[in-house]
Structure 1
Amino acid sequence: MIMPEVKILSRLQSIDALRGLVIVIMLLDHVRETFYLNKQVSDPMNILETEPALFGSRALAHICAPVFVLLTGLSAYLYQMKNTVASTRNFLFKRGLFLILLELTLVNFAWTAKFPPDVIYLQVIWAIGISMVVLALCVGLPRKALLAVGLLIIFGHNLLDQITFRGIPALEQIWFVLHERGWIESTAVRIRTSYPVLPWFGVIFVGYALGYFFESRFSAVARQRYLLVLGMISIALFLGLRSINIYGDQPWVQYDSWGMTAMSFFNLTKYPPSLFFILWNIGLGLILLVALEHLSHFKGFKPLVIFGSVPMFFYILHLYVLKLLYVMGIELFGPNQGDYFSVDSVSALWLITVFLIILLYPVVAWFSRYKHQNKHIAWLKYF
């Protein structure tokens, strides 16, 4: 009777650990967006103007959103394993709406420091929230059907890149939400669709379908083998299709320098996420998930689990801490790089990130402990 509980605990902790790992990587990227705005990067990055260290740090952060969305779908399946379809649908729908509300209020204010806002950015929390709402509407459909639709979206959505609805305002605004990054204008507020959501629907459907391998019919060894193979297939597809250079993202360029060529090869489109962006990062995510399950007794495993156990709490907390630190920097030292207060190197960004991990860990650990000791408090489930 004990062993199944240990196995379940191990597999769930590996999910939290992976979420915690990408949270730490996300922190590095948001430190960059706070203290390195004098060297902003485009999407995809201009490799002729971006130093390799900055390119690498930004490319590393690409894993965050795909893994977040994939694990959201996977977690939805695990939730459904212990609950009814109706209660799963209800939880996903309410949680999705809650995330959308957070994006429009606390998260947007953390980035803009304006209330009421004149600009609203629909970013990753919005994308996860609306993806959860869509998945809630689809829960109960055959798993294989959701998997097929998810793969169709992932592999086919780049065929839609040339479609535009210029001159048809109603359709254009819907298209900005679904597939093309743009601005939705109104008299009261401007809305930036930073994360067009259609490809993310595909990712959450695939994540949901992967929950099948977490059923009791699969041993830990079998599950890990399947996930590892799927991760390797995803990366192999990326490398093979990317080498052909025909479809799936902007073409890469071969330079005289192998380093520049490599940067071009991995210079992938995130907004919206291209086929290659998804294949590469989901493949890495699945391999890391398996690796973390094997490393569950490693000393550094527990902090990752704690960070990943309360992802929304950490997300909001770190945004406001970064905003406070930036305001303090401006007040104490003033702008030192044009209009911005910035550090002078990518290594400084990494040092700030390490400092923030150490600073925030006790607070996150306290909230994680409070959450798990008070499971009867309904609202804590949303964090």
Structure 2
Amino acid sequence: MQPNKLIQEPSATALKYRIQSVDILRGIIMIIMALDHVRDFFHIHGMDGDPTDMATTTPLLFFTRWVTHFCAPTFVFLSGISAYLSGLKKTKAELRSFLIKRGLWLILVEMVVVTFGITFNPFYNIIILQVIWAIGLSMIILGLFVGTSPLVILITGAVIFLGHNIFDYVKVSDTTTAGKLFQLLVVGPRGVFPISSNRMFLVFYTAIPWTGVMLLGYSAGRIFNKTVDSARRQRLLTVIGLTTVAAFIILRLLNSYGDPAPWSTQKDNITTFLSFLNTTKYPPSIVFSCMTIGPSILLLAFFEKRRSKLTDIFTVYGKVPFFYYIIHFYSIHVLCMIVFFASGHRFKEAVDPNSFAVFRPFHFGFELPVVYLIWIGLVVLLYKPCKRFSKYRATHSQWWLSYL
């Protein structure tokens, strides 16, 4: 069967519609994501410990961090799918314009709104670049590609996705401006990029590898076209998901190309297994991306025909991911500030030079069980605001709603 018979191009009169499985999975991802950020602010070793350090971690601490690894790659991949679905009701020129403007908007929001939510520093001595910045730049690049063919987008995404780990074997100088930009965009792990003597970028997400994920997500969006029936979409997603998971296992067993951090035998079988799962996120290696995106694609297949009260709850969060993302940071930080004062700290202790966040001292917080309780409480607290905003979006059509 020829590809154009399997998945047809959308008609110019394609109507707006939502894929419930995408909203369900995105909602699950948003809920899990909050666990990682609650851990950052409330775990006793959130600042001075590494949950993926095989010498010091515990299975529960490792899992608490590892499960949140699924969030960023899945969210970026789903953003690509959403970009495709958004384009069903736009011309290519309209889609290009929308993606570029929304990408610029997201980068601005990351630097101004999200950074302040994380730091509570009105002087912006630290400007944080995380997943929203990576999505924003990826959208701009995708916008530049939408005028080309679907095949060009697919091949470009695959080349970036499969090929960027070649730079693991290349030494890139960080002493020149060009070298610093190359590290910022292509090869660098998370790090500090000074702007002035008292201001810096704290970069967690190297943007171009994430662009490969978004381009592949955009290409996968064709599977969610109305012209593809549900059963066929489920089969396609299952095959793609299983293939991606198999690629993760094979590449990780080979323990060579695909991840700069090889796994190794540890003190016991459990820790050795954790080492096997401990793939590189900064920047996302092929192995890391296959490990996380593969199961997520299988979940898309699983949720294709499943609805329940639980999936309806997930959908509430999944329909308003940007709204949820913003308010969850501010909610976490306000709660941290309350706990800060309630635990006896004074205002003069609010700024710790070893911490990037005001009201979050370097040595502060609780053990993991309390962190989980705070996380659950936060998710429950944000349910009604998300539901109300989702209803507002569904009943209003102001232009700015498409940017949220």
TM-score bracket relative to the smaller structure:
over 0.9
Report the Cα distance in structure 2 between the residues aligned to 1:42 and 1:266, rounded to whole angstroms: 19
**Residue in structure 1 matched with residue 75 of structure 2 by the alignment:** 68
Most deviating of 33-42 and 208-217: 33-42
Select 2:296's aligned residue among 255, 262, 285: 285
Q: Taking structure 1 as reference, are residues 146 and 228 closer, same or farther at Cα in structure 2, changes over 3 Å only? A: same
Q: Determine whether 1:248 maps to 2:262.
A: no
Q: Would the alpha carbon gap of residues 130 and 44 (structure 1) be closer, same or farther in structure 2, given more than 3 Å must change?
A: farther
What corresponds to 2:357 in structure 1? none
- One-letter amino acid matched to 2:324: F
Secondary structure of 1:133 counterpart: helix
2:183 is the alignment partner of 1:175: yes
Q: Cα gap change, 1:174/1:115 in structure 2, threshold over 3 Å: closer, same or farther?
A: farther
1:117 matched to which residue of 2?
124
Is residue 375 of structure 2 the alignment partner of residue 353 of structure 1? yes
Q: Shift of the alpha carbon at 1:339?
A: 4.1
Structure 1 residue 229 corresponds to structure 2 residue 250: no
Q: 1-side partners of 2:217 and 2:334: how far apart?
A: 35
What is the letter of the counterpart of residue 235 of structure 1? V
Change (3 A) 1:189 1:40: closer
Counterpart position of 1:186: 195
Does the aligned pair in 2 maintain the 1:11–1:293 contact within 8 Å?
no
Please tell me the residue identity of whatever aligns with 2:379.
I
Greater alpha carbon shift after TM alignment, 349-358 vs 221-230: 349-358
Change (3 A) 1:103 1:78: same
The amino acid that maps onto 1:294 is K
Secondary structure at 1:253 match in 2 = coil
Deviation of 1:42 (Å): 6.8
Give distance in 2, aligned partners of 1:368 and 1:315: 14
Residue 37 of structure 1: how far off its partner (Å): 5.0
Letter of the 1:328 partner, please give it. Answer: I
Question: Counterparts of 1:10 and 1:139 in 2: how far apart (Å)?
Answer: 20
Letter in 2 for 1:237: A
Which runs of 5 or more structure 1 residues have no equivalent in the other structure?
A: 1-7
Q: Once structures 1 and 2 are overlaid, which stretch shifts more, 260-269 or 248-257?
A: 248-257
Does residue 1:26 correspond to 2:36, yes or no? no
Secondary structure (helix, strand or coil) at the match of 1:334 reads: coil
| Greater alpha carbon shift after TM alignment, 35-44 vs 67-76 | 35-44
CA contact (8 A) 1:43 1:270 kept: no
User: Are residues 42 and 239 of structure 1, via their aligned partners in 2, closer, same or farther at CA, if it must alter by over 3 Å?
Assistant: farther
Distance 2:94 2:188 in 1: 33
Deviation, 1:10, is 8.9
Distance 1:260 1:110 in 2: 35
- Give the CA deviation at 1:98: 1.0
Q: 1:39 to 1:367 in 2, by over 3 A?
A: closer
User: Which position in structure 2 is the counterpart of 1:369?
Assistant: 391
AA at the equivalent of 1:343: F
Structure 1 counterpart SS, 2:382? helix
Name the count of aligned residue pairs: 372
After superposition, what is the alpha-carbon deviation per residue over 1:63-116, rounded to whole angstroms, capped at 9, x for unaligned? 000011101111111111222111111111111111111101010011111122
How much has 1:185 moved relative to structure 2? 1.6
Contact 2:80 2:214 in 1 (8 A): yes
Is the alpha carbon distance of 1:37 and 1:201 closer, same or farther for their aligned partners in structure 2, counting shifts above 3 Å?
Answer: farther
Q: 1:9 to 1:262 in 2, by over 3 A?
A: farther
Report the CA distance between 1:144 and its aligned residue: 1.6
Separation (CA, whole Å) in 1 of partners of 2:226 and 2:116: 43
Q: Indicate how the Cα distance of structure 1 residues 169 and 93 shifts in structure 2: closer, same or farther if over 3 A, else same.
A: closer
How far apart, CA to CA, are the structure 1 residues paired with 2:209 and 2:103? Answer: 17
DSSP 3-state at the match of 1:121: strand
Partner of 2:364: 341
Matched to 1:207, the amino acid is G
Which residue of the partner structure matches residue 325 of structure 2? Answer: 315
Q: Which runs of 5+ in 2 are unaligned?
A: 1-14, 346-359
Q: Deviations over 1:185-228 (max 9, x none)?
A: 22262112210011111101100110111223321101110011
Partner of 1:325: 335
Bigger fraction of residues in helix: 1
Q: Percent of pairs identical after alignment? A: 38
Q: Is the 8 A contact 1:334 1:341 kept in 2?
A: no
1:277 counterpart SS class: helix
Q: Distance in 1 between matches of 2:51 and 2:181?
A: 23
Shift of 1:266: 0.2
Tell me the C-alpha RMSD between the 2 structures.
1.9
Query: What TM-score, normalized to structure 2?
Result: 0.88
- Measured in 1, the distance between the counterparts of 2:68 and 2:393 equals 28
